[in-house]
Amino acid sequence: MDKKAIKTFAIEARKKLIEEVKYQASLLGITADGITEPVEKAEGIEVYDIGAATPNTIYDEAIKQRESLVKRINEKGFDNVVEEVAYTWFNRIIAIRFMEVNDYLPTRVRVLSSETEGKIEPDIITESPNIDLDFTEEEIEQTYQLKNDNKLDELFKLLFIKQCNKLNEILPELFEKTADYTELLLSISFTNEEGTDRQLIDNISEEDFKDQVEIIGWLYQYYNTELKDDTFKQLKKRVKISKERIPAATQLFTPDWIVRYMVENSLGRLWLEGHPDNNLKENWKYYLDEAEQEPEVQIELAKIQEESKNLKPEDIKVIDPAMGSGHILVYAFEVLMQIYTSVGYSKKDATESILKNNLYGLDIDDRAYQLAYFAVMMKARSYNKGILTKNIEPQICAIQESKGISDELIDFIADGNSNIRKDLIYLVETFKDAKEYGSILKVKEDIDYHRLEKQMDNIKKMNIKTIESINYQNKSLSIIQPLIKQLKLLLMKFDIVTTNPPYMSRNSMNKNVAKYLQSNYPDSKWDIFGVFIEKCQDMLNPSSFLSIITQHSFMFLSVYENLRKKILLNDIINMAHLGTRAFEEIGGEVVQTTSFVLRKSNLENYNSTYCRLVNFNNQDKKEKEFLLRNNLYQTKKTNYTKIPGSTIAYWIPENVFKLFEKNKISDFAEAKAGIVTGNDDFFIKAWYEISFSAISFDITNFDNEKIPQWVPINKGGTYRKFYGNNTYIINLKDLYDIEKTSKSVRRGDPNYYFKESITWSMVTANPSFRYSINNVSGVASPSLFVFNKDYTNYLLGFLNSNVSEFFTNTLNPTVNLHTGDVLNLPIIISEQHISEINRLVEENISILKEDWDSYETSYNFKSHDFLIYSRKFDLNMIEKNFLKMKLNYETQLSNYKSNLLKMNEIFIQLYEMENILDNLIPENQIELKNKNQSNECRSLISYAVGCILGRYSLDKEGLIYAGGQWDPSKYSKFIPDDDNIIPILDTEYFEDDIVGRFVEFVKVTFGEETLEENLEFIAKGLKKKGTTSREIIRNYFLTDFYKDHVKTYKKHPIYWQFDSGKNNGFKALIYMQRYEPDLVARVRIDYLHKTQKALETTIAHNERIMESSTSTSEKSKAVKTRNKLVKQLEETRKYDEALAHIANQKIEIELDDGVKVNYAKFQGVEVNKGQKTTKINLLKKI
């Protein structure tokens, strides 16, 4: 199956269908902006002004259809109705395509294509009107006329609608009668190669439809791609998921092998327990045999199996309560068919019985329901050619809401019966917002749905004569009857519940959903998948099976502890622990899944089987390893009670379970919640964004009477052990100002501010722990405070060992490492090894600190390494300094790795885990940055720019100026730029040109004798185009320097680049901390205007060459240069207008506001160009 082609088609089809529906609606005077009245109106005729020379006229039936459309839009909104109509026709088009390819259409005539290879005209056009589509005489005449007039697309639309109406007879839930507004908004063409119909025929192979009803599910998922992406974009803007978008945001097509695993190990197991059958079992290659059990468990299992012997195929009730497009139900149908035929049923009889007795399904989405209905019926058709004529209604439905049901309708149905009236009132109240909740709705079990069904049968048989009563009768059957059906399914108990439920975290839920879960599912409210685990257990009969695939976080996270306890009151039969990338559509490390089967029984010593697939990085490898059965574990659920929080850590050996009975980290340290500001963008900045003098780095105690303004805060960060990630600061003074904080602020315990601690990043694929002091902690970087300081380094060493990582992955192998997970780690304090561990940790802290401080993003940065080695060894050749630095790096790296290996070895021996772990360190867990020529030359240039702009000085190490009072006496060896403006141009027009100043820096720093060799070394490291070292360096400044700077400073640049655009007409660097309100004016007058004059002069010079030169090559070169310069000049003129606008404002910046706020003041400047307004950024976009 070509999923790439399927995805492309589905995404484009949605766009085209929506566009076409909107266009058709606009012809009726209906747009997103409003609904217009007809410009002319008479009996059976309406005329609409559509802004064209000829207005649009509609008649009779179309007028009624438009009225229905207007009514629907007033109820649901324009965009929702457009989406609804688009998907309705999409569903019908792909359904007809599936049926024609598999020869399931009753007419046996293709509708969208032709059986004749290469023929574009669909067979339905060729054969019409000699097809059984219930043509009227008028339609037959119309068919011939359209053929004679060669209006074949009009004929195609007529025939397509006739086919849809005819299919209503056999598939009424998908092909509803189209004599409504949906028909009015249909636009379909077989001649338009870009149309949906032709794209489907031309781009998706027939083979993908042949006997593969799962293509319907893939088409549905891909159709929702853009809506889903947009929904998650809205989430980033803190817009919660509305009930209309819940289906698109949560639907995910289940991989086929996982569906088979779930169904075979639940439905298949249920049957085999009472009816052992090796032939059946051999067909089910994903079936896992039960683990060997202890004698007392075997006795209990024998009782369950004895009861199962009485089970008949028609007695089995299977439901998917989140059925989506029906993938799981379709395979359940297949397994049920195998069960039926194994006991002698014919496929024809089995098909009817399965539809009537076995399969049930629910979903929140009408679109998904239509496709699930179609998929199930097509599966039935594959076994029984006549099944579609039987008018069997499958036991599946889309959950509907009960809004707009009047008391009069309730009274009509109740017909004086107070009990029925009471039940109906409850029904209406329960389902009023059912689209918000779907199958997780809780309903009272004392509601008698049988009584309600019987009453509906009575109403159906009523001989009613008044128009009012007929209306009530129709509403009862169309509105109330579906509500009773879904009530029935929510009240029933099932033998098999099997599903891939939606995933939606509490942070994404709208208020209604979050509130409902708080009240009804407090143990699983954190994500919809957890709620479904709980709900599905409630839907089971005793000794029946649940098979489900969910995110695996419920196995580990502390918030799911009570849910785990509920799960462990049942017996997990087996599990396929999938980890990341189980779904080929989802990459990354965040979504980690597991699929498991449990029986609603509680056998204390039941031995469960687990297949661990988390270490295989794609869907195919996971399936292959599952089938090899190489990664099986078996354990009893009683073992989980030994682990804090009852974590489902099945892979732990028996001896390791006992380690959890020893001391825990919580016996030696406590953890404190970090600060929650409620507005990180306001309160937290990178330290280099603001005035350095405003930051207090060495505070040891919090004084409520003298609160400092800016202090360092631990805020998580990348993988880094022992030391580092000291980037952020918090405005503590404002945090304690009640007028600047919201109700969501959590300040933490100030008694622990600035204290020695061990900190880590809460969100992390691999845990890494760091030493911290003089900092406060944010919520994203929890901290441990050790009771006895003598143990701080020991605990830090343990936490950074692979033994600790084994346990953290046991307690919580998700990307979130919480304080409870760390506090619950088992710790063995070895007095024999404590001094050695302390020494190794001290060395590693020192190594990592030296590494961290060697980069200018550290507030303890002194100087570039090349300068440090130059002074230390009196070396003026940069290459020799680089080699010295490289040697030191390799020595430090060797020492660091050696220390880690030794600590790992000690802790592995202490915990007796030699058979489980080794002391090796993965290369991706070595955080010391590699020192290569390219990176070091680029960082040298960054340091040089800092010296040119006055941030650093060659006279003194460390940060010299970052706000405050400018002191020129700190610069004597190398004088920084006096006006804080450094032009970056492709030609040297200015004395303070960036390349000239950089060359001067290298000469002053390393000497004139080695200048050219040093420039060559730097140029070689930059790997840019150019014939000379200076040209290469210039090209680097023009194209890459600012990108590197923005990356280094994590999109909070301290040097700002004025930039006229892609033609490199004008660029200039300034230092944010030296900004003054008149700077923009100086950039414009002193630099931009002079650049423009230089460009004009050079253009004129090249034009003279073009006119006077006799050399063809010289002329050609002049033409090329002149054209480039003209583009640059035009670019700078547009840029000048924006600069002038801002220069006149003399904008002030406030360093405490940070880079993003201040940077934005110079972006999106509106410039009028005639009647058009364009926006121009003064600064390079970041």
3-state secondary structure labels for all residues of 828-849: CCCCCCHHHHHHHHHHHHHHHH
Q: Which two tokens stand for residue 30?
A: 């209906």
Lowest mean pLDDT among 683-692, 1013-1022, 1136-1145: 1136-1145
Q: Which two tokens stand for residue 756?
A: 């020695």
> Across the chain, how many H-helices and E-strands are there?
46, 27
Lowest mean pLDDT among 522-531, 536-545, 612-621, 1143-1152: 612-621
How far apart CA 878 and CA 998 sit, in angstroms, is 14
pTM across the whole model: 0.78
For residue 156, pLDDT over 90 is answered with yes
Look at residue 248 in the predicted model and tell me its pLDDT.
64
The pLDDT-based confidence of 586 (bands split at 50, 70, 90) is: low
With vertex at residue 375, the alpha carbon angle to CA 370 and CA 380, rounded to the nearest 5 degrees, is 125
Q: Report the pLDDT averaged over residues 1082-1101.
A: 95
pLDDT higher at 713 or 590:
713
Q: Which amino acid is residue 660, in one-letter code?
A: F
DSSP 289: P
Assign domain 247-398+494-596 one CATH number from 3.30.750.24, 3.40.50.1470, 3.40.50.300, 3.40.50.150. 3.40.50.150
For residue 236, pLDDT over 70 is answered with no
Distances (CA, A) of 272 to 264, 278, 281, 546, 735: 10, 9, 8, 16, 64
Q: Report the pLDDT averaged over residues 123-134.
A: 93
- As to burial, measured by CB atoms within 10 angstroms (0-12 exposed, 13-18 middle, 19+ buried), residue 526 is buried
For residue 1126, pLDDT over 80 is answered with yes
Q: Which amino acid is residue 885, in one-letter code?
A: M
What residues does 783 pair with on adjacent strands? 672, 759
Q: Report the pLDDT averaged over residues 59-84.
A: 90
What residues does 671 pair with on adjacent strands? 784
Query: What is the chain's mean pLDDT, rounded?
Result: 92
**Which of 801, 744, 674, 106 has the alpha carbon at shortest distance from 385?**
106
- As to burial, measured by CB atoms within 10 angstroms (0-12 exposed, 13-18 middle, 19+ buried), residue 1140 is middle
User: Is the bond preceding residue 129 a cis peptide, omega within 30 degrees?
Assistant: yes
Look at residue 588 in the predicted model and tell me its pLDDT.
57
For residue 468, pLDDT over 60 is answered with yes
How far apart CA 193 and CA 204 sit, in angstroms, is 14
Q: Which amino acid is residue 355, in one-letter code?
A: L
**% of the chain with per-residue pLDDT over 70:** 97
Distances (CA, A) of 299 to 303, 601, 637: 7, 13, 18
Look at residue 812 in the predicted model and tell me its pLDDT.
82
Residues in the chain: 1182
List all residues 6 or more positions away from 1099 whose beta carbon is below 8 Å from its beta carbon: 1122, 1125, 1126, 1129
CA 1085 to chain centre: 48
- Dihedral sign, Cα of residue 653, residue 657, residue 660, residue 661: negative
Lowest mean pLDDT among 6-15, 125-134, 246-255, 976-985: 246-255
Hey, is 58 helix, strand or coil? strand
Look at residue 112 in the predicted model and tell me its pLDDT.
94
pLDDT higher at 178 or 919:
919
How far apart CA 956 and CA 950 sit, in angstroms, is 12
pLDDT higher at 335 or 61:
335
How far apart CA 565 and CA 645 sit, in angstroms, is 9
List all residues 6 or more positions away from 39 whose beta carbon is below 8 Å from its beta carbon: 47, 48, 49, 55
For residue 344, pLDDT over 80 is answered with yes
Q: Which amino acid is residue 432, in one-letter code?
A: K
- Give tens-digit pLDDT for 690-736: 999 999 999 999 999 999 999 999 998 999 999 999 999 999 999 99
**% of the chain with per-residue pLDDT over 90:** 74
Look at residue 585 in the predicted model and tell me its pLDDT.
63
Q: Which two tokens stand for residue 981?
A: 């403006």
- Give CATH 3.40.50.150 domain extents, the chain: 247-398+494-596
How far apart CA 608 and CA 286 sit, in angstroms, is 16
- As to burial, measured by CB atoms within 10 angstroms (0-12 exposed, 13-18 middle, 19+ buried), residue 404 is exposed
776-777 and 710-714 strand pairing: parallel
